[in-house]
Each structure stands twice: as structure tokens, then as C-alpha cells.
Amino acid sequence: MNHTILIIDDDENIGNMLNEALKKEGYGVLRAYSGTEALMVLEKKRPDLALLDLMLPGLSGEEVLPKLKGIPVIIVSAKTDIDHKVKLLYEGASDYITKPFVISELMARIAALIRLSSITGSNSSEIKDDCIKAGNIVLNNSLYIVSIGDTEVSLTRTEAAILNILMLNSGRPVGRSTILDRIADSTPDCTERSLKQHISNIRKKLEAVDGVDHIEAVYGIGFKFS
């Protein structure tokens, strides 16, 4: 399988070096030169791993990191502060390597994370075209239809956007603010007040098909799909 790596770095020389090294290893490569451009790339294609610089024009790497939820992220930065490294690892980064780095070490870390993601099934969720699958549930993001076995259920656009994020992070709680941030551009009608009602509607629609409550409210955090 040809895995795709997203390079998010405004330093063209470093980006070109990474691009060349990754392609030699057989990876597909996507490029983004700012935090804002990275979000635009993510709207069109989901990479298997991201290399994220922190000092970016526009949105910083710290601001981009939460948007990469569910994607293995290696921070590639000149910042060496230990407390800052630890903070980012707790906030979702998979690994952290300091510039300047040895390219062979970075390639080894990338291979290890890709291998780990393959073993864990990327949180037991897989994406194919515009569909995402978790267990026996398939969500078609284009048609706003969720299928459980042979039964199809129609969702609203907002419900589909929310369910998509939860399924991408199947088995892990997703914060309310994270959900709202990720769907803000496509579904601006969803607010913190209405989010709970949208999720209640999704739960009822899914439970009506198989009798299972697939979405759990996690106190103080948000919601978890299972």
C-alpha cells in the first residue's frame, strides 16, 4: 500500500529534502506551507501521517495539531524545550524530533508509526472514497447516509459531519470543542448548545436499527463512538 505523508513546513529547503527522501522510500507526498494551507489540504485528502513544523505563518503548528485528530503526527521543530515537547505529546502528537535531524532516523520513526497504525487498524476505522467504516457501520459522507448491515438511515448534513468525526476516532472520546472546530466550516449552524441535540438525534437513529447505543457521553470531555 502506498502511504501518503503530509509535510507541513514553510521552510522550502527542508520541505524539498523531506519530499525527496519520502518519495525514495515509496511514500506519496502532500505539501502545505502554512497552517491554513494544511487545513485546506485536509479537506481534500486524509494523509496516513503528518510531519508538522510549529513555527508556521498564519495558524501555528500548535493550532493545527488538534485539527489532525486521528492522524499520526510527528512534530519536526527547532524548539527544544522539554516541557513544550511533553505538552504536545499529551495533546495528540505521536512523536517529536528536533531540527536539525538525521533523515534516516526520521524515516525510521515514520515507518514505525505507519506500521503501528496498520496494526491497530487506525482506531478500527477505515476510509474508502467518501465512506468511512467502523465495525459494521458505514457512513457515506456525500449522501449523508449511514448503513448498518442492509439498513440505510438518512442523516442531516450536520449529523453526518458529527458522526464522521466520532467514527474517525472510534473508541476514543472527542471533546465538544474539537467537534465544533472540525465542522465549523461545513456546518456553521451547529453551536455548543445544539450539539447535544444533534448527537441525541444520531443516537436515536442508529439505535432504532440495531438496538445498540453507539455514542457514549464522556463526562467532562465530550462523546465517544463505539
pLDDT of 122-135, one tens digit each?
444 454 447 888 88
Check for a shared fold between 4-122 and 129-225: no
Give 66-119 pLDDT, tens digit per residue.
888 878 899 999 888 888 888 888 888 889 999 989 999 999 989 888 887 664
pLDDT at residue number 124: 45
List all residues 6 or more positions away from 21 whose beta carbon is below 8 Å from its beta carbon: 103, 106, 107
Res. 199 pLDDT band, cuts 50 70 90:
very high
Q: Is 165 helix (H, G, I), strand (E, B) or coil?
A: helix
Calculate mean pLDDT across residues 173-188.
Answer: 80
Highest mean pLDDT among 26-30, 119-123, 221-225: 26-30
Give the span between the Cα atoms of 110 and 221, in whole angstroms.
30
Residue with cell 536539525: 100
| Residue 121 reports pLDDT greater than 70 | no
| Residue 38 reports pLDDT greater than 80 | yes
Strand 49-52 with 4-8, pairing: parallel
Give the span between the Cα atoms of 53 and 60, in whole angstroms.
8
Calculate mean pLDDT across residues 22-48.
Answer: 92
What beta strand segments (E) does the chain contain? 4-8, 28-32, 49-52, 73-77, 95-98, 125-128, 131-134, 137-140, 145-148, 151-154, 174-175, 215-218, 222-225
To 5 degrees, how large is the angle CA 146–CA 152–CA 155? Answer: 45
The chain-wide mean pLDDT, for the chain, equals 86
Res. 220 pLDDT band, cuts 50 70 90:
confident
Residue percentage of the chain with pLDDT more than 90 = 44
Res. 184 pLDDT band, cuts 50 70 90:
confident
List all residues 6 or more positions away from 157 whose beta carbon is below 8 Å from its beta carbon: 144, 186, 187
Residue with cell 487498524: 121
pLDDT at residue number 117: 67
CATH of domain 4-122: 3.40.50.2300
CATH of domain 129-225: 1.10.10.10
| Residue 149 reports pLDDT greater than 70 | yes
pLDDT at residue number 122: 43
Return the domain boundaries, the chain.
4-122, 129-225
* Set of cell numbers at residue 174: 472527542
Q: What is the pTM of this model?
A: 0.55
